[in-house]
A and B are shown apart, each in its own frame.
Chain A
Amino acid sequence: GAVVSQHPSRVICKSGTSVKIECRSLDFQATTMFWYRQFPKQSLMLMATSNEGSKATYEQGVEKDKFLINHASLTLSTLTVTSAHPEDSSFYICSAWRGATGELFFGEGSRLTVL
C-alpha cells in the first residue's frame, strides 16, 4: 500500500481562489517533506523543503507567499496555492524522507487545473 498519500489527486478551481493539497506519511514520521512541481514531459522541479515545526525552505524563484507550506505534524504537510491563476496549473508531487532506511517516498501527485 501507499506509504505517502496525497490528496486530492485532481482539483479544478476558478482563477483567484486558493487550493490546499495534503501530503501524509502513513507508515512513518517524516521530519522532512518535499514539494515538487512537474510540467508535462519534464522532470520534477523542487519547490520547497518542508520541515516539521519550522518554516519551509523555498527554492530560488518560488514565491513563498503564493505557495504556502505548513508542516504542523510529523505526518502531514500541506501546500496551499493562493490566488491561483491558470499558469499555476500543473502536477504537484510531495515526498517524505524516511531517514531510518534512507528512502524518499512519493505521493501519487495532484493535478491542479485553474480555469
Chain B
Amino acid sequence: AQSVTQPDIHITVSEGASLELRCNYSYGATPYLFWYVQSPGQGLQLLLKYFSGDTLVQGIKGFEAEFKRSQSSFNLRKPSVHWSDAAEYFCAVGASGGSQGNLIFGKGTKLSVKP
C-alpha cells in the first residue's frame, strides 16, 4: 500500500541555520512526489514537486528537495531558514500517469524557528 512517513513531528531550528525535513515513501511504481507548506488556519501551498528527470528539484521560497529512489526518500532542504518559514510541512505521494490528484499525505512536520 502507498504510504508516506515523516519521521519528525516537530523540529526547531535557529534562524539562519540550515534545514532538512525527512520524507520516506512506499510506492510500487514511479511516484509523483510533493512538498506542501501550511500556515496556521490556512490551506496548503505547493513548495515543489518531482515527476521525473533531475532528482534535485528547486521550489519556491528557496526550498529544494532531492529524490533518492534507492532510499525511497524525498527530503526537503533549505540552506538558511527565515522566521517566516515557521509552519507545518507535508510530504505527499501520488500515482504517476494521471492519478487526478489523489495524493497520500504524511502526518506533517511542524517547524519552529528560534530568533
Residue contact B106 to A43, C-beta cutoff 8 Å: yes
Query: Distance (Å) between the CB of B107 and the closest chain A CB?
Result: 5
Query: Which residues of A lie under 8 Å from residue B115 when comparing CB positions?
Result: none
Which interface class (under 10, 10 to 19, 20 to 34, 35 or more) fits A? 20 to 34
Residue contact B43 to A93, C-beta cutoff 8 Å: yes
Chain B stretch 82-115: residues in CB contact (< 8 A) with chain A: 90, 94, 98, 100-103, 105-108, 110
Q: A6-B43, A106-B43, A109-B41 are in contact. Are A42 and B107 (CB under 8 A)?
A: yes
Contact code string A14-54 (vs B, CB < 8 Å = 1, else 0): 00000000000000000110100000011110100100000
Q: Could you write out 28 A-B pairs with CB less than 8 Å apart?
A: A6-B43, A31-B100, A32-B101, A34-B101, A34-B102, A41-B110, A43-B90, A43-B105, A43-B106, A43-B107, A44-B44, A49-B100, A93-B43, A95-B43, A95-B101, A97-B101, A99-B101, A102-B32, A102-B49, A103-B46, A103-B49, A104-B34, A104-B101, A104-B103, A106-B36, A106-B43, A109-B42, A109-B43
